[in-house]
């Protein structure tokens, strides 16, 4: 389960960074980037996993340098599985963020703040992000379930003895129910904590 939560954190941070930089692109580059996102979003995650494994193997054969560990006999590998688990969700979240940010940037207060002399980056971080962060986080639940559905494939292809593989081997329905509840609790707590902090710090400003 640790790779799931690392992947969620990476997805949120990388998606925000990409979405932030996107708004400083030219219109032509924005259209090109959106086209690339559309293509990447259509690639199945299993293709990404197999392609990444093949790339690591080819690099090792060509250079003799082991870039990343693919499998482990005793210990699980983490870096490449986390990257693979984060790839498609990052594309999905970036598309969501870009749309939400663009709608917010068209509001009059943004033009007014820039006209007063504030930089675009200051307006974006201090005002735009604060106003849309709740809308963005409301989509994280869908990303969480998508990652969870991909986790079994990740663990199987990387030969990891992880949570979903253990759940698959459990024959007791009561243990399976407890395991599913344990999956839901961390995300529920994280979601509740976010909205609590949001209400206290953002809405009260």
* Each residue's pLDDT tens digit, 41-68: 888 888 888 888 888 778 777 777 665 6
* Burial letters 83-109, b for 16+ CB under 10 A, else e: bbbbbbbbbbbbbbbbebbeebbeeee
Average pLDDT over all residues of the chain: 78
Looking at residue 168, its pLDDT comes to 64
CATH class held by domain 2-202: mainly alpha
The domain ranges of the chain are 2-202
How far is C-alpha 140 from the geometric centre of its chain's CA atoms?
8
pLDDT at 140: 78
Percentage of the chain exceeding pLDDT 70 = 76
Q: Are 22 and 30 in contact (CB under 8 A)?
A: yes
Closest CA to 11 of 131, 199, 148, 121: 148
């Amino acid at each position: 389960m640790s790779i799931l939560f690392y992947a969620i954190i990476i997805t949120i941070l990388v998606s925000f960074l990409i979405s932030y930089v996107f708004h400083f692109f030219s219109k032509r580059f924005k259209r090109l980037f959106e086209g690339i996102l559309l293509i990447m979003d259509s690639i199945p995650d299993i293709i990404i996993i197999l392609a990444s494994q093949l790339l690591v193997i080819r690099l090792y054969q060509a250079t003799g340098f082991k870039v990343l560990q693919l499998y482990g006999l005793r210990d699980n590998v983490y870096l490449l599985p986390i990257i693979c688990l984060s790839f498609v969700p990052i594309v999905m979240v970036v598309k969501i963020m870009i749309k939400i940010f663009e709608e917010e940037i068209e509001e009059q207060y943004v033009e007014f703040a820039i006209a007063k002399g504030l930089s675009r980056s200051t307006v974006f971080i201090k005002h735009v992000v604060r106003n849309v962060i709740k809308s963005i986080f409301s989509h994280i639940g869908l990303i969480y379930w998508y990652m969870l559905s991909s986790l079994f494939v990740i663990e199987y292809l990387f030969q990891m003895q992880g949570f979903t593989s253990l759940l698959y081997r459990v024959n007791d329905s009561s243990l399976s129910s407890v395991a599913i509840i344990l999956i839901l609790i961390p995300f529920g707590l994280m979601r509740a904590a976010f909205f609590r902090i949001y209400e206290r710090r953002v809405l009260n400003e």
